[in-house]
Structure 1
Amino acid sequence: MKTMRSYSLRALLCSVTVFALLCALAVSMYRNYSDQAELDVLRAEVGSLNVDDPQMVHVRYVATKDKYSWKWRLYVPKNTHVEAGVELDSKYREDGEPKGGISRIVSSAPNGVVISVSVSPTIDDVSTVTLRLGDEILGTYGTNLDPIEWLPLDGNRYIAAEASTQQSVRGVPIRLLTRKIPGSWKGGGHPMAGKDMGLVVWIVPRKER
């Protein structure tokens, strides 16, 4: 009888121990999952880059709370620079380099750099598109279209690296942002009157000279 009781106590103790271990494991897994989910959110907010190949340009979209502003974090390897630009004439070709618009050179940035574009409200019948490198203004572009009329909207836009890091080799352009269906410049007497005014933000990696 004593042996049976002793066996039952040992079995109960083992069962309780195993149950406690399983509970601890479940709590640990839940905390790890929650921490990872929070880390993923933070990475998306700051545009954290996973650099798989240090010889390639890497791009990651940075979420903003302003629907008239977009940002990307770039890793630009040594001996490489990117040409960054904005177009409002929707002349971007599916293949090959963008044409027209404004553009500036961004030097190598192995530690990462932020490129952003924002659209101002219409003031005196003009809305301004501004391209920035960090806090530095790379260029501005004006249009008489109301931003809401050509703003990239769901189903009518493309945003690069919105879901994951995007890579590119030298000479291969990346469309950071496009409005697929352009609006038209309003009013007569202007060279752009009646012409399509789609928004395109792009970069092209190049070898530094």
Structure 2
Amino acid sequence: MGGGDQKVRIWNMKSVSKDNQNDDSNQTFLATMRDHFGSVNCVRWAKHGRYLASESDDQAILIRERKAGSSTSEFGSGEPADIENWKVIMTLGGILQTWVDLSWSPDDSTLASGRLDNTVHIWSMTNGICTAILRGHSSLVKGVAWDPIGSFIASQSDDKTVIIRCTIDWSLAHKTEGHWSKSVCYVSCNFVINLLFPCLTCLFFHP
């Protein structure tokens, strides 16, 4: 969980069931990460669970990996000591780059990030290099999502469009416009976009 205090926190929720979900004693605190210098807006797990990506108002995307052993708590914070040890292994982004959403590819080799400048950036997790910048929206990108097998990536924007691209060459597969109307759109690449609300704030592919 990310928050306005510039921190990312992790809890173990395995012991939380329907009957005891309101019992705090069943929620084990695992770690606090303090590497951002602005409010944390988005946190995304890699599919294999080894990496954790977060983006913040400090205009950085941080990639963390769990290391062996435990970490220490911040002196005077009053927070419990960390059980898990998470370290930053990669920093993506740069000056004047404000990110809105993050999405891992199914094989965790690539991270997509939506920006306020109407673009989607594609990052290689091998070296942290931006390998592609996807344009086509006329307003800020509010959501990005990969399909479950990694053949397509979708982005949705404040310009009321959803763009689906083929990941093999980032070519346009489909663009849906005017999703303020109540309708269902069948896309040629065999995906269905449900357009039921005045504006989209979140985007996911169905498994």
- TM-score band, normalised by the shorter chain? under 0.3
Relative CO higher for 1 or 2, CA cutoff 8 Å, sep ≥ 6? 1
What TM-score do you get using the length of structure 1 for normalisation? 0.26
Flag the structure with higher strand content: 2
The structure with more radius of gyration: 1
